[in-house]
């Protein structure tokens, strides 16, 4: 068996992934709830985000103090993604206005703790459009570590690419948007 | 090899499918490839889960009163009975299983 987690030197994030993610989560932020999205792509040394996956309906729970994705919905997404060679590259979620885009203990303990998986926190309920203002963390060894501004610039490459797939998923199905 | 259920000939496993053995693949969304291993059909799912979690480097964990647990999903249903054997899960004539290791992601500022 191959090693399950090839090292990632750099993540490529198309602008379209940013736009799609914000479009998918802002509604919750505006109504005072947390929400989030998953970024998928081919995991390799330079890993590009190619798919934004937004949980909907019974696939997730949006509340004032937390956002969760059900295991069943996660399984549905996994069954859809794996045959296409897609892996989970990052989990994004909102923090509401007044709460810094830093990881809470819940974020750390109840997030996806696999090597080089990103945990990205969008501040100000989704009103912070510039990703440089978000909190960018990467799981290494035993915990998440925040990127410094310099490291963020080196390891996360933004592109103007508009080709991105956005999918909606719940416990039963994955739908292309 | 007779091909009858439950009969396996020692030493023939590499060349001839044995009805005592189940080929198991477990996928995990953050990982690039699956965990793969052949198990005796009487193996409990708890054993497979422990092996797969070891391969993927993940562990169940506790925060306060909350436990973060990994589940198996098989054919769109979550497996809750890990003492179940592969035969009980698959039926007597299935030679392989495609499982997914899944988790409930919870992110939040105000959760204890």
Mean pLDDT of successive 10-residue segments in chain A (177 residues)? 94 97 96 97 97 96 94 96 97 95 93 97 95 97 95 96 93 94
**Among candidate residues A78, A74, A55, A41, the one with its CA nearest the CA of residue A156:** A41
- Over residues B67-87, the pLDDT tens digits come to 899 999 999 999 999 999 999
**Residue A85 within any structural domain of the chain:** yes
CATH number for the domain including A54?
Answer: 3.40.140.10
**Residue A52 within any structural domain of the chain:** yes
Other C-beta atoms lying within 10 Å of the C-beta of residue B54: 11
Confidence class for position B5, pLDDT limits 50, 70, 90: very low
Q: What is the mean pLDDT of chain B?
A: 84
Q: Mean pLDDT across the stretch B52-71?
A: 91
| Tokens representing residue B12 in the block | 């023939």
**Residue A109 within any structural domain of the chain:** yes
**Residue A9 within any structural domain of the chain:** no
Contact A169, A54 (CB under 8 A): yes
Using the Cβ of A106 and the Cβ atoms of chain B, whether some distance falls under 8 Å is answered with yes
Query: With 70 as the cut, is the pLDDT of residue B54 above it?
Result: yes
> What architecture is the B21-103 domain classified under in CATH?
Roll (3.10)
**Residue A162 within any structural domain of the chain:** yes
Specify the pLDDT at position B62.
85
Specify the pLDDT at position A163.
87
ipTM: 0.96
The residue of chain B nearest to residue A34, with distances taken between CA atoms, is B108
The residue of chain A nearest to residue B67, with distances taken between CA atoms, is A110
**Residue A111 within any structural domain of the chain:** yes
Q: What DSSP letter does each residue of A63-77 carry, written as one string?
A: -SSEEEE-HHHHHHH
**Residue A5 within any structural domain of the chain:** no
Q: Mean pLDDT across the stretch B18-33?
A: 91
* Total of domains in chain A: 1
Query: With 60 as the cut, is the pLDDT of residue B7 above it?
Result: no
B102 contacts in chain A (CB < 8 Å): 71-72, 74-75, 78
What are the structural domain ranges in chain B? 21-103
Bridge pairing between strands A60-62 and A66-69: antiparallel
For A56, residues 6+ apart whose C-beta sits below 8 A from its C-beta are A168, A169, A170
Residue with tokens 């198309």: A14
SS3 per-residue string spanning B13-76: CCCCCCCCEEEEEEEECCCCCCEEEEEECCCEHHHHHHHHHHHHCCCCEEECCEEECEEEEECC
């Amino acid at each position: 068996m191959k090693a399950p987690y090839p090292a990632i030197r750099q993540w490529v994030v198309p602008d379209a992934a940013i736009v799609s993610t914000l479009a998918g989560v802002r509604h919750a932020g505006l109504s005072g709830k947390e929400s989030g999205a998953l970024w998928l792509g081919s995991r390799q040394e330079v890993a590009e985000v190619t798919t934004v996956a937004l949980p909907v309906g019974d696939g997730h729970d949006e509340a004032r103090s937390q956002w969760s994705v059900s295991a069943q919905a996660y399984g549905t997404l996994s069954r859809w993604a794996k045959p296409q060679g897609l892996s989970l590259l990052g989990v994004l979620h909102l923090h509401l206005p007044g709460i810094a885009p830093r990881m809470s203990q819940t974020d750390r303990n109840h997030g996806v703790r696999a090597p080089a998986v990103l945990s990205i926190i969008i501040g100000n309920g989704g009103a912070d459009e510039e990703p440089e203002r978000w909190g960018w963390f990467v799981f290494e060894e035993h915990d998440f570590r925040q990127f410094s501004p310099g490291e963020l610039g080196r390891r996360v490459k933004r592109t103007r690419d508009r080709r991105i797939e956005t999918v909606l998923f719940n416990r039963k199905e994955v739908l292309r948007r | 090899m007779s091909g009858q259920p439950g009969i396996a000939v020692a030493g023939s496993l590499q060349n001839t499918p044995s009805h005592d053995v189940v080929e198991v693949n477990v996928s995990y969304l953050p990982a690039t490839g699956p965990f793969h291993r052949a198990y005796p059909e009487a193996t409990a799912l708890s054993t497979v889960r422990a092996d797969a979690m070891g391969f993927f480097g993940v562990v169940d964990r506790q925060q306060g009163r909350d436990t973060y647990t990994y589940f198996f999903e098989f054919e769109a249903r979550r497996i809750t009975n890990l003492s179940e054997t592969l035969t009980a899960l698959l039926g007597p004539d299935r030679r392989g299983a495609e499982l997914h290791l899944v988790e409930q992601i919870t992110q939040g500022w105000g959760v204890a």
